[in-house]
Structure 1
Amino acid sequence: MTVNLDPNIPDPDGFYDELLQAHAGLSDEESDAFNARLILTLANHIGDRAVLRAAIEAAK
């Protein structure tokens, strides 16, 4: 299974802005915890272990 690494988010700048806004006012610890929750939420949405494994390797 492969991971799509090509641009695939409509309005990527808008998404990036939303992501930054989600971190606004958070301490470093709170920001790290938010990132962990977001990663786990998206991983659960994907659900496919082969895709998740490929994503982990791509991120390394």
Structure 2
Amino acid sequence: MTDTRDLAPSGLDTSPRLPDPDRAYRALIDAHRGLTDEESAALNTRLVLILANQVGDETVLEEAIALAKGEAG
């Protein structure tokens, strides 16, 4: 069987993987509710580092950064 996920050359999977993306979005928004801008930025930094560690692959992480910056083709 062929894997039909959207894989970039590095192996970054850009296909939808969250079963309920709206729920995930709400969780992110709710996590920031009531925080100052500084607290929100700190939360984002911690979350990015935790998720980067979860990815565990520097090449995939670099591809994700480029995609987020709008630099990926």
Taking structure 2 as the reference length, the TM-score comes to: 0.77
Where structure 2 has 5 or more consecutive residues not aligned to the other structure, the ranges are 1-9
Larger RCO, structure (CA 8 Å, separation 6 or more): 1
Please show how residues 41-56 of structure 1 align to structure 2 within 5 Å: 41-56=50-65
Please show how residues 18-57 of structure 1 align to structure 2 within 5 Å: 18-57=27-66
Compute the displacement of 1:35 (Å): 0.3
Where structure 1 has 5 or more consecutive residues not aligned to the other structure, the ranges are none
Over the residues paired in the alignment, what is the CA RMSD in angstroms? Answer: 0.9
Taking structure 1 as the reference length, the TM-score comes to: 0.91
Q: Out of 13, 19, 38, which is 2:22 matched to?
A: 13
Compute the displacement of 1:4 (Å): 1.8
Report the identity percentage.
52
Compute the displacement of 1:6 (Å): 2.2
The structure number with the bigger radius of gyration is 2
Q: How many residues align?
A: 60
State the alpha-carbon separation in 2 of the partners of residues 43 and 25 from structure 1.
25
Letter in 2 for 1:49: E
Q: Select the structure that is richer in helix.
A: 1
Q: Which runs of 4+ in 1 moved over 6 A?
A: none
Secondary structure, counterpart of 2:35 in structure 1: coil
